[in-house]
Amino acid sequence: MFLEKRVMNTIIKYIVVSFLLLNSYCMNAQDKAVATFGGGCFWCTEAVYAQMEGVDKVVSGYSGGKVNNPTYKEVCSGLTGHAEVVQITYDAQVVSFEDLLEVFFATHDPTTLNRQGADVGTQYRSAIFYHSEEQKRKAELIIAELNKQGAFDTPIVTEVTAFDRFYEAENYHQDYFANNPNQPYCRMVVNPKVKKFKKMFEDKLKSTY
């Protein structure tokens, strides 16, 4: 009887622990959210969000086009309809979608149609590919408020459209700035944006930065 009781207690403990672990996993899974932004060259956008507290992963890729599995060369032609984007996986308990949008609008020019500085073409358009009606609502509200406040000299032209598909860019594009800090484009274009982010959003930096 005593042995049976011990076995039963062990089984109960195992069930309880398994339940707690499963519950914790489910809660963590619910806390993970995804955002997809196009803010010009994805090397810049990725480098900024990779340093943001609460962001778990940033992947460079392509969205918004009509060609399956496009290559970088095809996207650069402007014929596929894709934008260079980053897909951000973040902890919604640490950073909000509004926080991500705040950084998005502060670290690129959302008023120039199909271009960012010297990068010209539809692939460099400013875009928010929303994953839910809530993301759409928040993006549109923030854009309307920024335009109302006259935050920029000209109106925001950022595209707000439903997310469809994301195609991960070639491996050499991933963590490009971190792996190629001395590349001329990185020094002249990416680095200033990263410095701007660090200066404006010091409270949102990961401790490792």
Using 70 as the pLDDT threshold, list the residues of the chain that sit under it.
1-30, 209
The set of residues, in sequence order, having a beta carbon less than 8 Å from that of 206 and lying 6+ positions away, is 51, 52, 53, 55
Q: Which of 26, 41, 44, 186 is catalytic?
A: 41
pLDDT attached to residue 31: 72
Half-sphere exposure of 30 (CA within 13 A, CB side): 6
To the query of whether residue 76 is one of the catalytic residues in this protein, the response is no
Taking the CA atoms of residue 169, residue 87, residue 132 and residue 201 in that order, the dihedral angle to the nearest 10 degrees is -150
Instruction: State whether residue 195 is helix, strand or coil.
Output: helix
pLDDT in tens, 140-175: 999 999 999 999 999 999 999 999 999 999 999 999
| pLDDT tens digits, 31-51 | 799 999 999 999 999 999 999
Spell out the domains of the chain, with CATH numbers in brackets: 31-204 (3.30.1060.10)
Q: What is the pLDDT of residue 207?
A: 83
H or E stretch covering 102: helix 97-106
**Angstrom distance (rounded) from CA 8 to CA 75:** 61
Alpha-carbon distance of 194 to 181, in angstroms, equals 11
pLDDT value, residue 209: 62
